[in-house]
Every structure is written in structure tokens, then in C-alpha cells.
Amino acid sequence: MVKMNNISSHERLLESVARLTEKRDRESLELCLMQTMFELLPVEEIALYQIEDDQFGLLVRINPEGHWTISEDRTDGESLIPIANDALFADSLGRREMRVETVSTNVRRYAFPILYQGHGVGVLSIESTHDLNNDRRLIAGFLRIYQNYLVLIHENAHDKLTGLFNRKTFDERFISIFLKSRNPDPAWDRLRAMERRRQDGGDSYWLAILDIDHFKRVNDTFGHLYGDEVLLLVANLMRRSFRRGDLLFRYGGEEFIVVLRTTTIDNTLTVLERFRRTVEFYNFPQVGQVTVSIGFTQIADSEIPTLIIERADRALYYAKDNGRNQIQGYEGLLTAGELATSRSQVGGDTEMF
């Protein structure tokens, strides 16, 4: 049954719906949904998973102590569950309805399917010592709100042609990373812990700008219809080449951005080279061969976003001015004396965006 404190159930529900519908990005919406349901329902744990190929990837989990997790570490095996290994989740998605199993003498686990445009995209998992049958309508109502908002948020955050994140989303996400690091929030404990691991020899963060070589020639020779198809296919190759946790954006026109995490610059080069070769040897219908040039740089906490983008952009233009179809790193070019330190790095005011 719904938890009842001093506030009436109607007031609690209205307040919860208002709080949920004010969110404008998917991560905030999902976290708010989990927190709201955890407050209203007699649950021991609540978690949200999304489908990633043949696995369930953890997005948010809240336990009785109030801890929550957004799985930033996409390579963490504990955050990934093969679909074949969780019969309850698979059964819920297959039947398009709530399913329940007994975990122990006092605990039941409930699975509710998450649908997006008619397809199963995730599962809401709830563990409780109570029978939640009387709360099913409430849970279903919150999930309908969530599913409706997923459509709106997805359309607002993604490029319509390629389906990658758009420029607006890049600006918001990139700025928010720096704002969060400068204004600590207890909710970001996991992210800060990851950053400490990075500083202790763990992963580093990199920004790469990818540009399709001679794209204007493709449009002029074959028409914009085939040009759009090239953009779409390059985006698909990006999804196949980069990892689950790498952020992929269409930055504008024929430019794309990847924010990725690796342990060394050599690993970064390996990942980017794999993508470059994938594009080079792909047979684009009618067009034939297409290549990309890539410039990248390391992301440092103390720097502002525009400076990082400028560095990657300078490396990209060096690649394009020196033969195209290649990868150049800003730090390597600077060390080799191929690039001079920019004026914005030396001093002066720089706007974030």
C-alpha cells in the first residue's frame, strides 16, 4: 500500500507528479521517478534497467539507506545482466506485463516492463516484503508518465537524422560535468570516486571531433539524399565501434563528437583508429568509399569546455590540412612543435559557450 505520512495521499501524488514532470533530461527524470516511487511504496530496493543489445544495463538503484547509483562505469560487469540470465525480466518484457517471483521467505521481486514506441526498452525492478498488488495501478501510472516523457525527451535531445545526441545536448552535458565538479553534490559520489581512480592511474577522459572528408563533394555529386544516407551510416558505424558508455553526438553538418574514457593515450588511439578504418573500408551505397579525419584531446578538470573543444578542433584541422583520413592528437602535435599554444590558453577571457 502507498505510504501515508501527515500529508494526504492526493497531495503526495500531486506533488510527486509535479516533481516528475518538471524534469527535462532523461537521467534526472529516471532518478526522480525512482526516488518518488521509493518514497511512496513499501519497498526494500528499486532499480531501473535499460536494454543494451542482449543485456540489461543498470541505470538507477535505490536501497533502504537512500543510496543511488547511475551506472557511469559502463564496463562494470555488475551493472550488466545478460537477458538470458534473468528469466523474470525476460518474462515481463515478453508478456508486456508485471511479473513477480519469490526471492526469499519474506521478499518478493517484481518486474515491470518499460516500453518506448511499442518496444521493450527496459525493466523496473522492485523488491519488497509487502504484497504490491494493490499498488500496481499507481506504479503503472508513474510508468506511463515516464514512457510518455521518454518520447518528448528523446526527440529534444537527439538529432532527428542520425539518432545521436544533438548539439544542444552536448552543450548541456559538457557544461554540467564542470558545474558538478565545481559545486559538489552528494549524489555525485560515484562520479567523484571514478575521478579519483582516474587520477590514481585509472581512466582518463578524451574528446574527439570527427569530420567526414570531402562531404560537400558527396552532396554535390550524388545529391543531399545520399549525403544524408552517409551521415546516417557513419552514425551507425559509430554506435558499432565505440563502447556502451561513450557519448556520441552529431555536432553539426558532417561533424561528430565522441567523449570517451580510456586508460592511456595509446588506448584512445586504438579505439579511434578502429573507427577510422571501419569507415574507410565500408562500402557506402552509390557513393563508395568515405573517409573521416579525427582530432582529439584529453579532458582536464581545471579547464573550461571551449578550450577543450578548441584543442580538439585544431588537431582536426591539422589532420585535414595534412592529407585527411587520419587521427591527430593535440598534445602530441604540441609536443612535436607542429602546433603553437593558442592565445586562449595563455590568457584572456573565454566564454563557456
| Domain ranges within the chain, ordered by starting residue | 9-157, 167-346
Distances (CA, A) of 54 to 50, 60, 95, 122, 240: 11, 19, 18, 12, 14
Q: How many helices (H) and strands (E) does the chain have?
A: 12, 12
Q: Which residue has the higher pLDDT, 4 or 298?
A: 298
Contacts (Cβ under 8 Å, ≥6 apart) of 191: 72, 180
pLDDT tens digit sequence for 206-238? 999 999 999 999 999 999 999 999 999 999 999
The Cα 325–Cα 279 span in angstroms is: 10
Whole-number mean pLDDT of the chain? Answer: 82
Q: Does domain 9-157 have CATH number 3.40.50.10420?
A: no
Encoded amino acid at 196, one letter: R
When pLDDT is averaged across residues 2-12 and rounded to a whole number, the result is 53
The Cα 284–Cα 79 span in angstroms is: 36
Q: What is the pLDDT of residue 197?
A: 43
> pLDDT band for position 2 (50/70/90)?
very low
> pLDDT band for position 148 (50/70/90)?
confident
Please provide the DSSP assignment of 101-162 as one string: EE-SSS-EEEEEEEEETTEEEEEEEEEESS--GGGHHHHHHHHHHHHHHHHHHHHHHB-TTT
Lowest mean pLDDT among 256-265, 271-280, 300-309, 310-319: 300-309
pLDDT tens digit sequence for 297-330? 998 766 778 899 999 999 999 999 999 999 999 9
Count, residues in the chain: 353
pTM higher than 0.85, yes or no? no
Which active-site residues does the annotation give? 254
Please tell me what DSSP assigns to residue 188.
G
Structurally, at CATH architecture level, domain 167-346 sits in 2-Layer Sandwich (3.30)
